[in-house]
C-alpha cells in the first residue's frame, strides 16, 4: 500500500507505506538530499492489516502546518511540520488513537 500528499508549497510530503508486514507514516522533505529526505517516521502497524488502501487518507490541516493519517476516517497519526513533532501511531482496531485533542481539532474543519 502507498498513499501520499504533498503540501501546496511543494516542500513537504506525507507518505504512508505498508510493505513487508509493516506500515509507516513519513514526513518527507521533497527538495532534500536523496539520503536525507525522511524527516520523521511513525510506526503505524505490523502484521496483516485489517484495512485496505482505499481506507487510507492523508490530509493537511487548513494552514498546512500539520498533516494527518486517517484510517477509515479516523485520525491515527499527525506530524506537526512546523514544530517537527509527531503524534499517534500504533494502530489497533480496538484502541483509540493517541493524538492530543488540540492537535486533532485542527483537522475537524480542514479540507
**pTM of the complete model:** 0.89
* Partners of residue 74 on adjacent β-strands: 71
CA pair distance 67, 13, nearest whole angstrom: 9
Write the burial class of residue 19 (CB in 10 Å: 0-12 exposed, 13-18 middle, 19+ buried): exposed
- List Cβ neighbours of 34 (8 Å cut-off, separation of 6 or more): none
pLDDT at 96 (0 to 100): 85
The number of residues making up the chain comes to 111
Q: What is the pLDDT of residues 25-67, one digit of tens each?
A: 999 998 866 666 899 999 999 999 999 999 999 999 989 999 9
* Three-class secondary structure of residue 44 per DSSP: strand
pLDDT of 16 above 70 = yes
pLDDT of 111 above 50 = no
Q: Give 41 or 107, the one with higher predicted confidence.
A: 41
Number of domains in the chain: 1
The answer to whether the beta carbons of residues 42 and 55 sit under 8 Å apart is: no
pLDDT band at 15; cut points 50, 70, 90? very high
Determine the structural domain holding residue 91 and report its residue range: 2-107
CA 46 and chain centroid, separation: 16
Q: What is the pLDDT of residues 73-104, one digit of tens each?
A: 999 999 999 999 999 999 998 888 899 988 88
Give Dmax (Cα) for the chain. 39
pLDDT band at 105; cut points 50, 70, 90? confident
In degrees, rounded to 5, the angle at the alpha carbon of residue 21 between the alpha carbons of residues 68 and 23 is 10
Amino acid at each position: 500500500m502507498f498513499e501520499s500528499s504533498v503540501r501546496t508549497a511543494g516542500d513537504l510530503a506525507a507518505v504512508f507505506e505498508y510493505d513487508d508486514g509493516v506500515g509507516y507514516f513519513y514526513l518527507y522533505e521533497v527538495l532534500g538530499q536523496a539520503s536525507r529526505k525522511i524527516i520523521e517516521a511513525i510506526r503505524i502497524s505490523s502484521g496483516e492489516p485489517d484495512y485496505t488502501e482505499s481506507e487510507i487518507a492523508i490530509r493537511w490541516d487548513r494552514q498546512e502546518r500539520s498533516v494527518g493519517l486517517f484510517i477509515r476516517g479516523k485520525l491515527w497519526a499527525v506530524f506537526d511540520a512546523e514544530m517537527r513533532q509527531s503524534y499517534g501511531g500504533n494502530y489497533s482496531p480496538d484502541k483509540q488513537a493517541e493524538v492530543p485533542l488540540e492537535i486533532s481539532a485542527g483537522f475537524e474543519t480542514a479540507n
